[in-house]
């Protein structure tokens, strides 16, 4: 029964995409049609317009769609011989449909006709019987989309729409979208002045603004301290590396499409590194390691570059240059489970302190039956590695989903998945087991019998990349960060000019105790200053007026609890320091 309902809704949404294309051609007769599938919650269709359209134009298109729906036009399947289909699309100048024909081997091609040949589209279907069954529709937004997802092709205009059976379902969906915008990291990132994408610098290359960089440094220092307490050492390797290193690692064979073009230096190819691991392997090899040195834990905040397609870039979530909280752990087979368990312990500590709880685990495995050439290394080693990761997850009682085919080319991994406000899922933390690079780089250690052995290598990124993690962190907290992480913890606001001297004393006292505090002594009203601070989501506001000066107190206003009231200066400082020490969060 569930499948029947899902099929009915999918047919309805697919038909809505045809109604969209029908409406567009009525209003823009020279528009060229791309493709238009059903998607979660609705549909989209790609168009090439002779003149760009804007989101304000969607209202007229939506009105035209509703007229077509109201007419209850029949939607009927028919078939056309290839030569007739080619002639048909040539006659109406639909070049993209002609290109689609080349990829369909059938001699007879399926078309769906709306009304009395008012709209005809190449389509396998299935569809509903008439446009009156489409339900409730709403055009949501426009976006750029390369034809067939290929950035070498023309950028088309994609129109997204929502489609539901009832108005109540549509109202709930639109309310959810409205609520999601309040959490959108791209909106909040701008409002809170955390980061910027500056076109003159480059798409997909985020700039950390002072407030965002403050938060990043706090997290960097936190993670360095946490890792050092657990025996990590830290390195930093260059942004560009000789191509020979990536030939050894296998990245040039398995990963070249995601790498930037080489840079010629003294007739040698250098690459912006897509991974930190090859350089990390060379650091390990600088000195001979004994079994007594293992596990050897080497951390790095390493910046890497990957050539993401323009259409896939998204705020901080999908970028071209990013810094990983990377680490490479070298251990014996006997130490393997213990090292993985310790890594998961660190993950638990970090997520608890950050107040992050919306995530799940995924075990990414190989799938040699479908794609045997994707994976490097010995099959038996793959089986050992995959079972080791599975065993640890099961022993810890962690619920996880196995994902055959999602492993990296050099080994299986545990991914921690988070879902953003729009329902899109991404990996934020990774524990990658690797037996392949150790072999390629001839990584060794000397065992207790004086024999050379090959260690296991674990690649581990608890934060993943700072950029992607911040996207989820902003959305998770809606910008209301825990006090210990907030870029500005307190803003001191004197009511008038005569209160500035005491306000400065409070500011200097808090600043001297390592509280991140700002003094707003601008010539503006108190209410205006409060609104500006609340817009930046400052955790605590300190209001200074006559009463505060007379009693040598501060009037405290909390971002979350609003008015706290008068507090002695030392009392307020102790209050802040305790909240920071405990890393309290909502």
- Binding site per annotation, positions for Zn(2+): 277, 328, 459
Beta bridge partners of 159: 45, 142
Q: Which of 567, 540, 545 is nearest to 501 (CA)?
A: 545
Q: Is position 277 annotated as part of the catalytic site?
A: yes
Other beta carbons within 10 angstroms of residue 530's beta carbon come to 17
Query: Is 459 an annotated catalytic residue?
Result: yes
Q: Give SS3 for 519.
A: strand
Q: Which helix (H) or strand (E) holds 223?
A: helix 210-229
Cα separation, 574 vs 553, whole angstroms: 14
Catalytic residue (choose from 13, 277, 529, 557): 277
581 catalytic per annotation: no
Contact 243, 402 (CB under 8 A): no
Is 117 one of the annotated active-site residues of the chain? no
Helices (H), 271-364: 277-284, 336-354
Residue 140 is classified by DSSP as E
Q: Quickly list H helices, 250-311.
A: 251-254, 277-284
Contact of 306 with 276, CB cutoff 8 Å: no
Task: Reply yes or no on whether 522 is catalytic.
Answer: no
Nearest to 101 by CA among 85, 124, 117: 85
Give backbone dihedrals phi and psi of 87, rounded to 5 degrees, phi first. Answer: -65, -40
326 part of the active site: yes
388: CB partners within 8 A, 6+ apart:
336, 337, 340, 433
CB 170 within 8 A of CB 150: no
Q: At what angle do helices 336-354 and 379-395 cross, to 10 degrees?
A: 50
Is 417 among the catalytic positions? Answer: no
Which of 337, 266, 326, 267 is CA-nearest to residue 302? 326
H-type alpha helices, 441-489 = 466-477
- Residue 1: alpha-carbon gap to chain centroid: 35
Out of 459, 476, 537, 557, the active site residue is: 459
d(CA 580, CA 586): 13
Which residue of the set 11, 32, 273, 326 is catalytic?
Answer: 326
- Tell me the C-alpha distance between 282 and 275, whole Å: 13
Nearest to 137 by CA among 172, 179, 170: 170
Nearest Cα neighbor of 75 from 28, 114, 103, 109 is: 114
In this structure, the number of other CB atoms found within 10 A of the CB of residue 80 comes to 16
Pick the catalytic residue: 32, 251, 328, 537?
328
Q: How many residues does the chain have?
A: 586
Which listed residue (306, 362, 476, 585) is catalytic? 306
Closest-CA residue to 447 (of 332, 298, 296)? 332
Going by the annotation, the residues of the binding site are: 277, 328, 459
If 0-12 CB within 10 Å is exposed, 13-18 middle and 19+ buried, where does residue 127 land? buried
Catalytic residue among 94, 317, 324, 489: 324
Chain-centroid distance of CA 458 in Å reads 23
Contact 487, 469 (CB under 8 A): no
Across 405-422, b (16+ Cβ under 10 Å) vs e yields: ebbbbbbbbbbbbbebbe
To 10 degrees, what angle do helices 336-354 and 210-229 make? 140
Q: How far apart are CA 311 and CA 46, in angstroms?
A: 13
Instruction: Return the active site residues.
Output: 277, 306, 324, 326, 328, 413, 459
């Amino acid at each position: 029964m569930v499948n029947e309902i899902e099929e009915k809704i999918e047919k309805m949404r697919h038909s809505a995409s045809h109604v969209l294309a029908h409406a567009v051609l009525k209003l823009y007769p020279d528009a060229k049609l791309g493709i238009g599938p059903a998607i979660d919650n609705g549909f989209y269709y790609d168009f090439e317009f002779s003149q760009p359209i804007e989101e304000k134009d969607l209202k007229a298109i939506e009105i035209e769609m509703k007229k077509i729906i109201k007419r209850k036009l029949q939607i009927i399947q028919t078939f056309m011989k290839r030569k007739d289909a080619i002639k048909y699309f040539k006659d109406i100048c639909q070049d993209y449909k002609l290109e689609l024909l080349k990829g369909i081997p059938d001699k007879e091609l399926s078309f769906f006709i709306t009304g009395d040949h008012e709209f005809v589209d190449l389509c396998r279907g299935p569809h509903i019987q008439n446009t009156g069954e489409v339900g409730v529709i709403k055009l949501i937004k426009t976006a750029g989309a390369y034809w067939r997802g290929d950035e070498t092709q023309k950028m088309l205009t994609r129109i997204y729409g929502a489609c539901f059976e009832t108005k109540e379902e549509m109202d709930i969906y639109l309310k959810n979208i409205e609520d999601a915008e309040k959490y959108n990291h791209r909106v909040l990132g701008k409002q809170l002045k955390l980061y910027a994408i500056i076109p003159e610098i480059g798409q997909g290359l985020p700039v950390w603004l002072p407030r965002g960089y403050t938060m990043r440094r706090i997290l960097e220092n936190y993670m360095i301290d946490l890792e050092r307490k657990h025996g990590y050492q830290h390195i930093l390797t260059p942004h560009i590396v000789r191509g020979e290193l990536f030939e050894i690692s296998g990245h040039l064979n398995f990963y070249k499409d995601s790498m930037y073009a080489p840079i010629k230096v003294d007739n040698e190819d250098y690459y912006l590194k897509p991974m930190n691991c090859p350089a990390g392997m060379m650091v390990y090899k600088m000195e001979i390691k004994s079994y007594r040195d293992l596990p050897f834990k080497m951390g790095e905040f390493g910046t890497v570059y990957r050539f993401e397609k323009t259409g896939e870039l998204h705020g901080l979530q999908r970028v071209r240059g990013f810094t990983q909280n990377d680490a490479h752990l070298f251990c014996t087979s006997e130490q393997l489970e213990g090292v993985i368990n310790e890594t998961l312990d660190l993950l638990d500590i970090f997520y608890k302190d950050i107040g992050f709880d919306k995530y799940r685990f995924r075990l990414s495995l190989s799938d040699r039956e479908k794609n045997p050439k994707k994976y490097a290394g010995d099959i038996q080693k793959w089986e050992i590695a995959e079972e080791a990761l599975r065993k640890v997850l099961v022993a810890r009682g962690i619920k996880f989903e196995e994902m055959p085919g999602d492993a990296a080319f050099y080994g299986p991994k545990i991914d921690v998945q988070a879902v953003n406000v729009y329902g899109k899922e991404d990996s934020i933390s990774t524990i990658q087991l690797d037996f392949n690079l150790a072999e390629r780089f001839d990584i060794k250690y000397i065992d207790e019998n004086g024999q050379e052995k090959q260690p296991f290598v674990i690649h581990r990124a608890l934060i993943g990349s700072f950029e992607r993690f911040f996207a989820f962190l902003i959305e998770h907290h809606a910008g209301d960060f825990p006090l210990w992480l907030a870029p500005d913890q307190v803003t001191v606001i004197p009511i008038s000019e005569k209160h500035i001297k005491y306000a400065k004393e409070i500011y200097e006292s808090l600043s001297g105790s390592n509280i991140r505090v700002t003094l707003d002594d601008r010539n503006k009203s108190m209410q205006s200053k409060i609104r500006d601070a609340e817009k930046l989501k400052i955790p605590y506001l300190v209001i200074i007026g006559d009463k505060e000066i007379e009693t040598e107190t501060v009037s405290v206003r909390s971002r979350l609890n609003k008015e706290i009231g008068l507090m002695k200066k030392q009392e307020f400082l102790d209050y802040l320091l305790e909240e920071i020490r405990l890393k309290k969060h909502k």
